[in-house]
Amino acid sequence: MAYIKLGNSDLEVSEISFGAWAIGGWMWGGTDEAAALRALEAAIDMGITSIDTAAVYGFGLSEEIVGKAIQGKRDKVQIMTKYGLRWDDTRGEFYFATKRNDGAPANIHIYAGKESIIRECEDSLRRLNTDYIDLYQQHWPDGTTPVEESMEALGQLIKQGKVRVAGGSNYSAEDMARAQTVVPQASNQVAYSMVKRGIEDEIVPYCIEHNIGIVVYSPMQRGILSGKIKPGHTFKPGDSRPDTPYYKKENIKRINDFLDNIKPVADGKGISLAQLVIRWTLQRPGISTVLVGIRNEEQLKENAVAMEFALSQEEMDTINKQLDELEILMDLS
Query: Would you state the pLDDT for residue 273?
Result: 95
Q: Under DSSP, is residue 69 helix (H, G, I), strand (E, B) or coil? A: helix
Nearby residues of 258 by Cβ (< 8 Å), 6 or more positions away: 194, 322, 323, 325, 326
Query: Would you state the pLDDT for residue 252?
Result: 95
Beta strands in the chain (DSSP E): 3-5, 12-14, 16-19, 50-52, 78-83, 85-86, 93-99, 105-110, 133-138, 163-169, 185-191, 213-217, 287-293
- Beta-bridged to residue 52, according to DSSP, are 19, 80
Q: Under DSSP, is residue 53 helix (H, G, I), strand (E, B) or coil? A: coil
- Beta-bridged to residue 290, according to DSSP, are 16, 216
Query: Would you state the pLDDT for residue 332?
Result: 60
For 40, 115, 174, 198, 326, the CA distances from 170, given in Å and listed in that order, are 25, 22, 11, 12, 25
Query: Would you state the pLDDT for residue 303?
Result: 87
State how beta strands 93-99 and 105-110 pair.
antiparallel
Which of 57, 83, 206, 217 is catalytic? The answer is 57
57 is catalytic: yes
CA 329 to chain centre: 24
Query: Would you state the pLDDT for residue 333?
Result: 56
Q: pTM here?
A: 0.94
Show me where the domains of the chain are located: 3-225+272-311
Architecture of domain 3-225+272-311: Alpha-Beta Barrel (3.20)
DSSP of 291-320, one letter per residue? EEE--SHHHHHHHHGGGS----HHHHHHHH
Q: How far apart are CA 284 and CA 279, in angstroms?
A: 9
Q: How far apart are CA 19 and CA 238, in angstroms?
A: 19
Q: What are phi and psi of 188, to 5 degrees?
A: -130, 125
Low-confidence residues of the chain: pLDDT under 70: 332-333
